[in-house]
Structure 1
Amino acid sequence: MGEHLTDEYKEKVNPFGLVPVIDDNGFKLTESVAILRYLSREKGVADHWYPKDSHLQARVDEYLEWQHLNTRANCAMYFRTKFLHPMMTGKPASEKDVNRWLRSMNETLDKIENVWLKDTPFLNGNRISIADILGACEIEQPRMAGFDPCANRPVLSAWMDRVKKELNPHYEEAHKVVRLVTKKFNENPGNFNPK
């Protein structure tokens, strides 16, 4: 753990010191959206993941671009403000900042439920796509800070269940740490220790 923070990793793998990264026979990519688009184009995956049809692909891209400043930013900042920063510094979270990100995150989750999923079972249509993978993963993050993004959101909850069903057993394997941290945080939210 923490290999991505080493000088060697930054020099040889990713100069930003972040994950994910892929190395496809010497071709390196360091951003998740670019990685998923690349893999979809180059590795012969089923067309529904990132459709070749220009209109269908544009719908997937529409969510992928929207999510950067919405799903990703708001869910990540809530998690960071309420959970990660206090855990790393030992200082309590700023309630003002937590509430700010909570409002923004709730607005985003409501838009996913009422706009993106209004007429379709998946974010961009009737079939799962890379947009659903990214959306679901971002929405999992706040669980580790004691927030249930699906509470009182039946459309969002049903969509999350569909995504899990389509991706399992890999979905649960990929979220094993999320489940462990969520359980530990919920058992003792005031005095959380991840160890």
Structure 2
Amino acid sequence: GQHNSDDFAQVNPLRKVPALKDGDFTLAESVAILLYLSRKYEAPDHWYPQDLEACARVDEYLAWQHTALRSSCSMVMWQKMMLPVFLGEPVPPETLASTLAELDRCLQLLEDKFLKDDDFLAGPCISVADLVAITELMHPVSAGCHVFKTRPKLAAWRQRVEAEVGEDLFQEAHEVVMKAKDLPPVDTAMKDKLKPLVQVLL
């Protein structure tokens, strides 16, 4: 809950994580932070290419994912794992089925439009597009959704991303979300406070 504090609001008035404070400069939104860091520290070109068309491919994915893959992945995690905790009962089956169908549609677009027959989403080399995508996909995985089991092309892509990043760093990056199901129960007062907010996810 520290993101709701007044101190955090000075870094990010949106009161959301992640947020970056670099000297006197502050920045919100994960994609903006990734691109800022890649430029500031002159990351290898493949992460965010200088080539106009290669860069446009990365930007294309980043623009699409925000209201497509990211949205559906987050919704699946909330409806399968988080909402039952706050509401005290499972999400209606028809609601969850609709959300899973939307995720499946986004996964198909991810394969057909972006991955195609390439090794990575924006071409032959890994980029920030792949980092953003794998991060989102691990949310439904953490809720027990077998995203990769029936999609061998996507599963092979995940293995390539993990190999490029390194297994230890890959596991560390997703440790928190993968342990979300093991979080201690939420106390009654907090449930009552947050219940109206989470109900909008139904």
Per-residue CA shift, 1:11-68, capped at 9, x if unaligned? x221111111111111111101111111122211100000011111000000000101
* Partner-residue secondary structure (3-state), 1:47: coil
CA distance, structure 2, for counterparts of residue 179 and residue 92 of structure 1: 20
Query: What residue number does 1:178 align with?
Result: 177
CA distance, structure 1, for counterparts of residue 3 and residue 47 of structure 2: 28
CA distance, structure 1, for counterparts of residue 74 and residue 119 of structure 2: 24
**TM-score computed with the length of structure 2 as normaliser:** 0.85
* Partner-residue secondary structure (3-state), 1:85: helix
* Partner-residue secondary structure (3-state), 1:159: helix
Query: What residue number does 2:128 align with?
Result: 130
Matches within 5 A, 1:133-172: 133-168=131-166, 169-172=168-171
Q: Which consecutive residues of structure 2, in runs of 5 or more, have no partner in the other structure?
A: 185-202
**TM-score computed with the length of structure 1 as normaliser:** 0.88
Indicate which of 183, 188, 202 corresponds to 1:194. Answer: 183
Task: Confirm or deny: 8 A CA contact 2:77 2:142 kept in the other structure.
Answer: yes
1:7 maps to a residue whose letter is: D
Per-residue CA shift, 1:131-167, capped at 9, x if unaligned? 0000000000001221011011001001011111111
Quick one: percent identity of the two aligned structures?
A: 40
CA distance, structure 2, for counterparts of residue 145 and residue 171 of structure 1: 18
Task: Confirm or deny: 8 A CA contact 2:138 2:178 kept in the other structure.
Answer: no
CA distance, structure 1, for counterparts of residue 94 and residue 151 of structure 2: 25
* Partner-residue secondary structure (3-state), 1:49: coil
Task: Confirm or deny: 8 A CA contact 1:143 1:149 kept in the other structure.
Answer: yes
Greater relative contact order, per chain length (Cα 8 Å cut-off, separation 6+): 2
* Partner-residue secondary structure (3-state), 1:28: strand
- Paired residue total: 183
Counterpart check, 1:78 vs 2:76 = yes
Indicate which of 23, 35, 38 corresponds to 2:36. Answer: 38
Q: What is the Cα-based RMSD across aligned positions, in Å?
A: 1.4
